[in-house]
Every structure is written in structure tokens, then in C-alpha cells.
Structure 1
Amino acid sequence: MSINTTPISPGRALDALRTGFAAQAAGEMTVCWMLHGRPGIGKTEIVQQLATETGATLFDLRLTTIEPQDLRGLPFYDHDARRTVWYPPEDLPDDPATPAILFLDELTAAAPALQPTVYGLLQERRVGQHALPACTFIVAAGNTVEDGAIAYEMGTALSDRLVHLSLRAEATDWIESYAVPQGVHPAVTAFIRTRPDLLDTSENALRKGQMIACTPRSWARVSTLMNAVPDKALRDVLIAGTLGEAVAAEFILIAEDIAATVQATAMLGADGKERLEMYPASLHGLTALVYALVTLADKRTIGGVIEIMAEIRKLSELSRNAAFAALPLGELTTYGFELLIDKALAEGLQEAFRASAAYADYAAEREAAGLA
């Protein structure tokens, strides 16, 4: 059964959940949400991010690992009342004073016998006599049969209880909403910016009968490998086991070029003339430098980061290396400043821009060109 709704990026899905959470907190609406998407696209991370932002307690239920009685609780006989009563499970929210998110993960892979129990949670917001507090926000997630995952068709009795969001991986959204904020290795971020088609290769891998595919989750794992495994030969094998041999070979070549040319930390401690010789003269290298600078920016370094970022646009004039003339230096500088300003606003570092002569010069140049 197809999911006949407009596909959106994970970042937009998070925006939708933020809006829903705020509306429920204000008493304007109470609905349940369903995130559809291929394995590894970031459904779990979206819900975890929402919980972090809102301060809500996250109750993460993996429905493939529980039975109906795990939600219903355990019965015991009350001799005084002469009836059977139930001990409620600890896996469900019960504090009316504390905002909570109930995450029903792997809903479409749950056994059909469990679905009637889930109906009550979604529609009546209760299981048996245990009612969820009004401050509980409910989100479900799952894959489809077409994703190559274990999944059951969702019946209309279940689907009618949900607002459905269909997630599709988008490189720009992943870079700006996840990779940069999470400090993903600059080689990974730079590679995806220049090869956005390789962010998610699940469909192509399924068509070819290949087990390994690239997903946003697997690229995040590659970032971890880049930072954690110093032995290059071993690291290359592990990357191939994460991305597949063909994509890994392409990525490793680019990563080697970046490793040989990107010296972001050293550049922050270098003077102007010495620093000028340290700029990488390839698109991959400069792109990785931009991401590395944004990652390194903090209260101590942001002044130097702004200077280097502003200098990128002038490399074809300042450097004797003719390769810079063929690179989109202005575009990279603008993109880098957009990312850096977003981080500065999020972390309270914006005053550094007001105090920076390099940024004032860059802003004046853009204004004179009618780009401000």
C-alpha cells in the first residue's frame, strides 16, 4: 500500500513535530504522528532531537520486542474488591506534571496481534484503565515492504488514527540540519555536498540485490570511523563494509585528498602569509575546510574563523595558485558564513561578527554588489 502524501525532508518533518508539540501544549490540538521512511533516514534521531529541545521525557517503545501484555501490564486479584486489577507498565508515561513523548518505533513491523492494543493508545490514549497524561505527545515510526524491511501492511483502522509524514533524504537538509550541528567529519560533509546522489542509495541497492546501501545513518557511522580508527588500511575496510565497495572507493580517494590538504586547526594559529599557503586548492578541500571551520568555531576561535572564511573569497587574487580562479570562492564564502551565523546565533556568539573587521569588509562588499 503506497503512502499517498507529499514527501518531505527529515528537517521539515522535525519542524512539523515541533509545531504539533507546541499546539498540543497550548491545548489547540491533540493528534498522533507517523513517520514513514527508509531504514537509516533519521526517524529516531528526529524524535530524540524533539525531546532534547522540549525537555520532554522520551519513552521509546520498540514494538517488535514487546507483547500485548507488556503494554497492558500484569493482572493481580484484589481480594477486598473481589476483582482483577492491573499493574500498569513502567514503559508508559504516568506523570501529569512532566511533558513526555511516547515513541512507538517500528510500528509497521510489530506483530498483528499487538496492533489492537496500539489502537487504544492512538485513539483513546489509554491501555485498559491506564490513561496517558494530557502532556503526552505520541509519535510512531516505521518502514514499508518496499523499503526491503520486515513490515506488515498498515490497515485502515490503524492508519486513520495518524497524521502521516513521508520522509525522503535530501543532502542539503541533512548537511544543515544534522551533519553540521552534530560535527560530522568534514570529509563526509564535503563529499555529500558534491555527491548528493550518494546520501541514500537504498533504492538502487535493492534493485541490484545488494545488501549494503548508503543512508544518512551509514554516513554518520563513517564519520565515527574516520575519527576513531587511526589504522588507514583497517579503516578503509570498515568504510567499505558500511557504504559498499564502489562508493567507499570514491569516498576514500576524496578523504585522502582532504586529509592531505585541509589544516583548519593549524590555520587558526598561523599568520596571514603562512596561512595563505595552507588553503587547499581543490573544491573538495575548500568545502571540507568550510565545514571544519564551522565545527571548530567557539568563543575562543570564532574571530579567527571569521577571518579565514572571509579570506576564501579573495584567494584567486591573494594566491599565486591559478587553480583558485576556477573555484566558486564567493559561493563557498557565502555558504560558509550562513552556516557560521546559524551556529553563532544558536550558541550566543553573534557579537563576534559585530567586532570583526573582516566580516564588515565582506558585508560592505556584498552590499555594494547589491547582494546584501
Structure 2
Amino acid sequence: MSVNAMTVPAGEALEVLRAGWEAQKAGHITASYMLHGRPGVGKTQVVEQLAREIGARLFDLRLTTIEPQDLRGLPYYDHETRKTRWYRPEDLPDDPDEPSILFLDELTAASPMLQPTVYGLLQERRVGRHVLPRTVFIVAAGNTVEDGAIAYQMNTALSDRLIHLHVQAAAADWLDNYAVPKGLDASVVAFIKTRPDLLDTTERAVAEGHLIATTPRSWERVSRIMGAVAERRGRNVLIAGTVGEAVAAEFALIADDIAATVQVQEMLEADRKARIALYPASMHGLNALIYGLIGVLDARNVEEVIDCMAEIRNLARHRPEEAFARMPLGELCTYGFEGLIRKGLEIGLGEHFLGNEAYRAYAAERKAAGL
């Protein structure tokens, strides 16, 4: 059966779960939520981010690795009452004063023998005599049969106990809400910015019978490889084993171009005349520079970073290369400032923008253009 719920990017799924938590905390609604989505799309990261935001303890249960008794507990004989009682498992939250998230991951891949126990958690918020406190927020996640993952069809008895969200990878959402804030390698971020169709190729890989597909999770792994392996040949072999040979070959060309042309720290230390000559003359290079500037922004270099970002819109006037005349420099500059300001506000540097001459000139130009 297909998941006939609304399809949302990971960032919006986080917003919906955040609203659900607030509604539960206020006593308006207590429900269990189900995140459907392809492997690596970011379902686990959404739940982990929610736990950090609300200050909740995360109980992460991978249902493919446990047996029914792991949730139900183990019986023991109470000689005094002549009754069988149960030892409750320690993996279930029980603190009524501490926010907790019970994350039932890989629900659709769990053994059918486990499902009756899970039903009680999702609907009645209890296992045996143990009742979950109201401070516990329940989220489940899983793949579907169509994703090429190991999964069982979800039956109606289980489906009816959940509020369903279909999480799908979206390049803009992933870049703005995950890749850039987490500081992923600039070459990965720039590549997905210009090739958003390669963020998630799971459907294509399944159709073509390929084992390896790209996913948000695999691109995060590529980012770690870029930072950990300096030797080019070995690095390329590892990346090909992560995202597939064809995609890795295309990515390698971009990564080499960026490595040769993007020199963020050198630009920040140069005077304006020398800095102009250091701007990369390609879309990939400029995108990587933008994300690099956002990544290094802090209180020590905020003025220089703003100056570098503002100059992007003027490159066609200062550099003779025809490439600059063809590129949407104004749009690149605006996109860069959106990310830069967002980070600046997060780390308490917002006032520096209003006081910076280059930013004021940029803002005045946009206002004069009615933007």
C-alpha cells in the first residue's frame, strides 16, 4: 500500500513534530507519529534534532534488533502474592518530570511477532502495567517496500494508531537546514546546490538495478571522507563506494576545481585589490566560496566575511573573464547573504551587518531596485 500522506522535506517534518510536541505539552492532543521515507533521507536526524531542541532524553529503539520480551519485560513469580509479575525493561522512559522521546525506528522492518506489543505503546501508551508518562513523545520511522529496503506492508490496525508524514529529500531544505548549519564540506554543498537531482537517487538506482544510490546520509559520509582522506586516488575510491562510480566521477571534477580555486582564508587576509583576483570564475567555485564564508563566520572575521560576500555582485565589473558576465552574480550574492545573516543572528552578530559599509551599499542597491 502506498503512503497517502502529505510529502514534506525533513525541515518541515521537524516543524510538524515540534508543533505536535507543543500540543501534547499543552494537553491538547496526545498522538504517535510515523515518519515514512527512503533510507538515508534524514528521518533519524529529524528526531535527534527535535530531542536537542526540546531538551528531551532520547530513547532510540531499533525494532529490528529486539524481541517482544525486550519491550514487554520478563516475568517473575511473586511468592508473597502468588502472582506472576513483570520486570519492566530499562529502555522505556518513566520519568514524569523529564521530557523524553521514544523513537521506534525501523518499525516497518520489525518482526510481525513484535507488532502486538508495539500497538500498545502507540495507541494506549503502555506495555503491560507500565504506562508512559505524559512527558513522553512517541515517534516511529521506517522505509516502505517500494524503497528497495527490507520492509513489511503496514497493516491497517497499526496504521490507524499513527499520524503519518512522508519525508522526502529536497535539496534546498537539506542545504539550508542541515548541510550548511552542520558545516558539511563546501565541495559537497556546492555540488548539491548545482546538481540537486543527485541528492537522492534511490528510486533511479532501484529501477536500474544498482546497489549504490545517493542519499542525504551518503553525502554526509562523502563530506567526512573529504576531510579525512587527503590522498586523491584513495579518496575517490571511497567516494565511488559511497555514491556510485558515475556520480563520484562528476563530483571529483567539481571537488578538484573547488580545491584549486577556493581559498577562503587567503581571501579574508588579502586587501581588496588582491582579493578581487582570488574569486573563482565558476558557478561551482562561487557556490563553494559562499558556503565557505558562511562556515567560517565568527566575531573575529565578520567584517571581512561581509566584504567578501558583498563583492560577489560586482565581479563582472572588476574581472575580464566572460564567465562572470554569464553568471547570476546578484542572485548568488543575495543567496549568500541570506545564509550569512541567518548564521550571524544565531551567533549574535546581527548588528555587524547594519554597521558594515559594504552591506549597507548592497542593501541600498536592492532597495533602489524594489527588492
Give the equivalent residue in structure 2 for 1:356.
356
1:78-89 equivalent positions in 2, closer than 5 A: 78-89=78-89
Give the equivalent residue in structure 1 for 2:303.
303
- Cα distance in structure 1, aligned partners of 2:152 and 2:216: 24
Summarize deviations over 1:281-334 as a string: whole Å, max 9, x none: 111100110011001111212221111000100111122333211111100000
- Give the root-mean-square deviation of aligned CA atoms: 0.8
Greater CA deviation, 20-29 or 237-246? Answer: 20-29
Give the equivalent residue in structure 2 for 1:338.
338
Give the match's secondary structure for 2:176: helix
Summarize deviations over 1:133-167 as a string: whole Å, max 9, x none: 11000000000111011111111000000000001
- Cα distance in structure 1, aligned partners of 2:369 and 2:313: 14
Give the % identical residues: 65
Give the equivalent residue in structure 2 for 1:47.
47
Summarize deviations over 1:169-226 as a string: whole Å, max 9, x none: 1111110111100101111111111111111111111011110001110011000000
- Cα distance in structure 2, aligned partners of 1:90 and 1:352: 50
Give the equivalent residue in structure 1 for 2:62.
62
Greater CA deviation, 287-296 or 82-91? Answer: 82-91
Give the equivalent residue in structure 2 for 1:134.
134
Give the equivalent residue in structure 1 for 2:272.
272
- Cα distance in structure 2, aligned partners of 1:88 and 1:302: 54
Structure 2, unaligned runs of 5 or more: none
With the length of structure 1 as denominator, give the TM-score of the two structures. Answer: 0.98
1:206-355 equivalent positions in 2, closer than 5 A: 206-355=206-355
Amino acid at match of 1:230: A
- Cα distance in structure 2, aligned partners of 1:87 and 1:348: 49
- Cα distance in structure 1, aligned partners of 2:299 and 2:96: 39
Q: How many pairs are equivalent?
A: 371
| Structure 1 residue runs of 4 or more that deviate by more than 6 Å after TM superposition | none
Amino acid at match of 1:34: M
Amino acid at match of 1:149: A
Summarize deviations over 1:56-83 as a string: whole Å, max 9, x none: 0000000000011001112111111221
- Cα distance in structure 2, aligned partners of 1:51 and 1:299: 29
Greater CA deviation, 48-57 or 76-85? Answer: 76-85
Give the match's secondary structure for 2:137: strand
Give the match's secondary structure for 1:313: helix
Summarize deviations over 1:7-47 as a string: whole Å, max 9, x none: 11111111100111111111111111000000000000000
- Cα distance in structure 2, aligned partners of 1:280 and 1:256: 12
Give the equivalent residue in structure 2 for 1:23.
23
- Cα distance in structure 2, aligned partners of 1:49 and 1:39: 18
Amino acid at match of 2:248: A
Summarize deviations over 1:104-131 as a string: whole Å, max 9, x none: 0000000000000000001110000011
- Cα distance in structure 1, aligned partners of 2:36 and 2:94: 27
Amino acid at match of 1:175: L
Greater CA deviation, 36-45 or 351-360? Answer: 351-360
- Cα distance in structure 2, aligned partners of 1:29 and 1:348: 35
- Cα distance in structure 1, aligned partners of 2:282 and 2:99: 49
Amino acid at match of 1:319: R
With the length of structure 2 as denominator, give the TM-score of the two structures. Answer: 0.99
